Amino acid sequence: MKILKFGGTSVGSIESLKALKKVVENNLLQKNKIILVVSAMGGVTNNLLKMAEEAVNGTDFSLALADLEKRHFAVVKELVPLQQQNQVITKLKLYFQELEDILQGITSLKELSIKTKDMVLSFGEKSAALMISRILGPVFENTEFLDASQIIKTDSSFGNAKVNFGQTNLLIQDYFSQHQNHLIVATGFIASDNENRITTLGRGGSDYTAAILGAALNVSQIEIWTDVNGMMTADPRRVKKAFSMEELSYTEAMELSFFGAKVIYPPTMIPAFLKKIPIVIKNTFEPDFAGTFIKHDLKPSNTTIRGISSVDHISIINIEGSGMVGKAGFSGRLFSLLSREQVNVILITQSSSEHSITFAVNPDDAVKAKVLIEQEFELELLAGKLEPVKVENNLSILAIVGENMKKTPGISGKLFYSLGRNGVNVVAIAQGSSEYNISVIIYNSDLSKALNAVHDAFFAELQKTLNVFMVGVGNIGKELLSQIKGHKDFLAKNNLINIQILGLSNSRKMLVDAEGIDLNNWQQSLEQSSAEANLEGFINQMKTLNLPNCVFIDNTASPYPSKFYKQAFEANISVVTCNKIANSAEYAQFADLKETAQKHGVDFYYETNVGAGLPIIKTLNDLMISGDKISKIEAILSGTISFIFNNFKGDANFHDVVKLAQEKGFTEPDPRDDLGGVDFMRKMLILARNAGFALEANDVKLGAIIPDAAAKAASVADFYKELQNENKYFEKLKNDAEASGKVLRYIGKLENGKVEISLQSVGADHPFYALSGSDNIIAFTTDRYNETQMVVKGPGAGAAVTAAGVFADLVKVGASKA
């Protein structure tokens, strides 16, 4: 035998009642013996309460009452067979007449006791159960309505009555033994006291009815039919990746729903729990969903936590002072005061110095609690033994829950790492020694970010999402987006990293879409965006969305985005860039950026600043962190210039070779930066700084490659014009070198903390002689790589290799532990 309990949303409309009927039919088809427990139609309980209040205030409740009737009659007309409709409507009319009499009584007495409220509320359950029993008549002949208030007996604490189980169990067993061949549709929530006055069972009362019946009758299963797919791993309105749990223990259900999860209210399940009756949460609107099982004997789970619960709005009250230290009775006095005055304490933490106690309450109770405490401890406050009581608002609770957490080290580490890395400030912490639950109090504005970050961190079988905002979609940026598009699925599958582009900007337009930008037509979307580019606005939107695992990518050559890196770090957003400007401006800025990123536990990756995708920064960092000392770096770090010297052969024209380099995407957006040496200078400076030298740009001795007139041309067009004029000059350079069997190379050197870059002719004996295409080469001489240098060589410019380097940096952010 099974109990099927249907909540308000499952009985709230014609559609849902049709779905309910299907569920019942399916059960009967499978020859299941079932008992139904139903709530009032969705919204009816609140309407009844409102009517009662209108009645006591002397306002007119007749419209609301008429609405209530209409709602029920509409269902009857649609779902009850025609020949029985009158009979049902007559019965319902009797109920509503009785209800009206009571409401009128309330109006004349101007008094609404909890006792009367219970009576008013009972009409919601009674009308629903009566109506549903008639809807099911055609499905099963012997369908019977049961007013369960007749067999569930309680004390007289109206509003939240205590069940007298001895008496109740006998009455239940007796009733059902006499109705063995019936399909019973019972009211939830209502009961009666010894004088047969209606009582109600408090929060989650209909679930409680199901559990009471189930336990008394020793059923094999209790099904709670609702409008969601079971219990979810986190609040699905905030965490898109939340998923339904297959099963969980009673303890876990208890912990999870203590904060948040509204699917069931587990304390009501205790009768079932004591008898080890499994409870299944099912979806009336998706009956094929298997459901979430709450039971004993669970399968071994592969996750350490079962789920994350949260309470959106709480306030905390903090009491501290010397008056509390070592005072055994202090917390007793405090908490019995709060309990006596019906202030529900959600969570408590106390420091081991006993100097302070912090507890969380509903925001509605905060002021009341403060005043109560101030009265109770007036003397201590006056004597300065307690500090003034502090209330803090706009807070939330996030709790991770799971029985597997017990005796598993590393869980709190993971929790706090993911919160910390995402810049979520933890205001207070509580963990019960049962180790089933770690709760943190955080700012409400951080709750969504925190929930998503923690969900990503613990459900490792799920992908972690990187939320990316990118400025610069030119040569490099465009290629990067195409690489991401092509490789996204692979990363999701093999590295569990899901890359979402939420923001794009070029120098004209910008586009931010919190749902993610479709990479199949990003160009069109950006072009059609109504938002003009506005970097400050872009950054603000990125910060306001406050997402976890957020990354800002700068693919521009502009100094402007780098002004925002620090703000990004401060908002716990990582930065990945191929733009060299930030790291080659003043040393103080470079140092500050590195320090800020480190302080906020986020990443700052710029591998492509030097040698594009070649592992140069990484190699240098590896040498440094392993304690090696760099004594010399020699390098060719301009892909453009390499390409030019490697192709300026035979009767090639210097101007045309430079043009070709630009067309191939090797040059900077402004090729004067390459030919004038600035780009190379920046790279040497960045290397020197990463090698530990606090150098500035003007410490670099920069030798020229091109005559001044070209280097200082007012525009790119002028620059190319100048190059045409200088062809002879370059011919001569080349011929002179060739005459002595040498080639031209633009070489940078860092030695003894000094950097110089110069144009040299080198012979075949020089390691940099044989270089082709746009190759870079870098040779590190260090304490450990002394006799033979460590050399990295390969293509050091071009959209494909550069974008790949940026991409790898991005994935590195995703691969970090939180």
Ligand X SMILES: NC(=O)c1ccc[n+]([C@@H]2O[C@H](COP(=O)([O-])OP(=O)(O)OC[C@H]3O[C@@H](n4cnc5c(N)ncnc54)[C@H](O)[C@@H]3O)[C@@H](O)[C@H]2O)c1
Ligand Y SMILES: N[C@@H](CCO)C(=O)O
- Active site positions, annotated: 683
Considering CB distances under 5 to 8 angstroms, the limit depending on partner class, which of ligand X, Na ion, ligand Y, none binds residue 309? none
Residues of this chain, 575-614, that bind ligand Y according to CB under 6 A: 612
Q: How far is the CB of 674 from ligand X (least distance, A)?
A: 9
Nearest CB to ligand Y, comparing residues 423 and 639: 639
Q: How far apart are CA 726 and CA 711, in angstroms?
A: 11
Q: Does 668 bind ligand Y (CB under 6 A)?
A: yes
Taking CB under 6 A as the rule, does residue 674 contact ligand Y?
yes
Residue closer to ligand Y by CB (options 454, 806) is 806
727-739 vs 716-725: helix crossing angle, rounded to 10: 50
> Of 188, 214, 291, 472, which lies in the binding site for ligand X, with binding defined by CB under 6 A?
472
What is the separation of C-alpha 761 from the centre of its chain, rounded to a whole number of angstroms?
58
477 binds ligand Y (CB under 6 A): no
With CB under 6 A as the contact rule, the residue among 612, 623, 630, 755 that binds ligand X is: 612
Contact region with ligand Y (CB under 6 A), list: 196-204, 212-220, 638-646, 699-707: 638-646
Judged by CB under 6 A, the stretch of 287-295, 554-562, 665-673, 806-814 that binds ligand Y is: 665-673
Which residue number, 639 or 677, has a Cβ lying nearer to ligand Y? 639
Q: Which is nearer to Na ion, 130 or 750 (CB)?
A: 750
476 lies in the site for ligand X, by CB under 6 A: yes
Residue 570 DSSP SS3: helix
Cβ atoms within 10 A of the Cβ of 717, count?
A: 9
Q: Which tokens is 86 given?
A: 């009158």
Q: How far apart are CA 286 and CA 121, in angstroms?
A: 29
**Which residues inside 407-466 make contact with ligand Y, applying CB under 6 A?**
none
Nearer to ligand Y, 12 or 795 (CB): 795
Which DSSP letter does residue 271 get? H
Residue range at the interface with ligand X (CB under 6 A); choices 56-64, 486-494, 795-803, 809-817: 795-803
Residue 579 as a binder of ligand X (CB under 6 A): the answer is yes
Residue 439 and residue 399 in contact, taking contact as beta carbons nearer than 8 Å: yes
- Say whether residue 808 binds ligand X (CB under 6 A): no
**Which range of residues in 56-64, 407-415, 421-429, 633-641 is near ligand Y by CB under 6 A?**
633-641
Alpha helices in 534-670 (DSSP H): 535-545, 565-570, 581-584, 587-599, 617-625, 639-647, 654-663
Outline where DSSP puts E strands in 69-142.
Answer: none
Contacts 24+ apart (CB under 8 A), 710-718: 710/675, 711/672, 711/675, 711/676, 713/672, 716/670, 716/671, 716/672
Choose the stretch contacting ligand Y; rule: CB under 6 A; options: 10-18, 276-284, 317-325, 635-643: 635-643
Any idea which residue has 């609690």 for tokens? 369
Spatial CA neighbour of 323 closest among 373, 393, 391, 392: 373
674 binds, among ligand X, ligand Y, Na ion, none (CB under 5 to 8 A by kind): ligand Y
639 part of the interface to ligand Y, by CB under 6 A = yes
Specify the residue, 310 or 556, whose C-beta has the smaller distance to ligand X. 556
Identify residues 562-621 at the interface with Na ion (CB under 5 A).
Answer: 607, 611, 614, 616
Q: Give a three-class secondary structure readout of 320-366.
A: ECHHHCCCCCHHHHHHHHHHHCCCCEEEEEECCCCCEEEEEECHHHH
Q: Does 506 bind ligand X (CB under 6 A)?
A: yes
Choose between 204 and 639: whose C-beta lies nearer to ligand Y: 639
CA dihedral 558, 564, 565, 567 (to 10 degrees): 180
Q: Provide the minimum distance between the beta carbon of 587 and Na ion in the complex, in angstroms, as a whole number.
A: 21
User: Measured at the alpha carbon of residue 212, what is the angle toward residues 134 and 210, in degrees to the nearest 5?
Assistant: 40
Check if the beta carbon of residue 401 is closer than 8 Å to that of residue 255. Answer: yes
Applying CB under 6 A, the residues found at the interface with ligand X are 471-477, 505-507, 533, 535, 555-558, 560, 578-580, 608, 612, 639, 665-666, 668-669, 797-798, 802
Interface positions with Na ion (CB under 5 A): 607, 611, 614, 616
Chain residues that interact with ligand Y, rule: CB under 6 A: 612, 638-640, 666-668, 674, 679, 796-797
